[in-house]
Structure 1
Amino acid sequence: MEIEKLFKALSDPTRVRVLLLLSQKKLCVCQLQKILKLPQSKLSKHLGKLRDLNLVVGYQDGKFIKYELSKNYFLENILVLVKESKNLDEQFQVDLSRIDKFDYLIGDVQ
């Protein structure tokens, strides 16, 4: 992975929010869309960029495509630093407060 491409991907707040959410649990596009309050087309573009860099992987789970973080030690360490950032703290807390709210969309009971 080219480091410049990684940091360019991480320079977008929406992609960072997606990565932070996926660091908490596996989510489908419909859940991410509701949590982030984004149109599906915009979210899909962000997920595509993250997939292209092998930062996330998607897999079929019934009729849904769920996403999770790729196994990437470098990314995991970056996300630890990002989680400690004061700039993202407030938005991340809002996103986290909604993370389980949309499990009904895919029938998850956790």
Structure 2
Amino acid sequence: MLTIVSRMDVMNRLGRAMADPTRSRILLTLLQQPTYPAELARDLELTRSNVSNHLACLRDCGIVVAVPEGRQTRYEIA
């Protein structure tokens, strides 16, 4: 069971993740279908590095999961 402090930490991380407009755009795209970072970068007109950083944040918060597929990694909503 999570303590109050742990719950607050989870809520703060989730809030920070959702507050960023770019992460919101990534999440809306992933809600439609799982996809790859390169496709997200192309479709959202972002750099791959920028997308990777945002995906890492969303992954750390438990919002998205990375699914290895050979040499690529597909991202989807957790």
TM-score range relative to shorter protein: 0.7 to 0.9
Identity %: 37
* Partners of 2:72 and 2:39 in 1: CA distance: 10
- Unaligned 5+ segments in structure 1 are 71-110
Counterpart CA distance in 2 for 1:9 and 1:63 is 27
Give TM-score scaled by structure 1 length: 0.61
Structure 2 stretches of 5 or more lacking a match? Answer: 1-6
Among 54, 60, 64, the alignment partner of 1:56 is: 64
1:46 aligns with 2:54: yes
Residue deviations 1:18-73, cap 9 Å, x none? 11111110100111010111111111110000000010001112321100000xxx
Q: Which runs of 4+ in 1 moved over 3 A?
A: none
Q: Map residues 1-16 of structure 1 onto 2, 5 A cutoff.
A: 2-16=10-24
Task: Say which SS state the counterpart of residue 33 (structure 2) adopts.
Answer: coil
Provide TM-score, normalisation by structure 2: 0.84
Q: What's 1:65 paired with?
A: 73
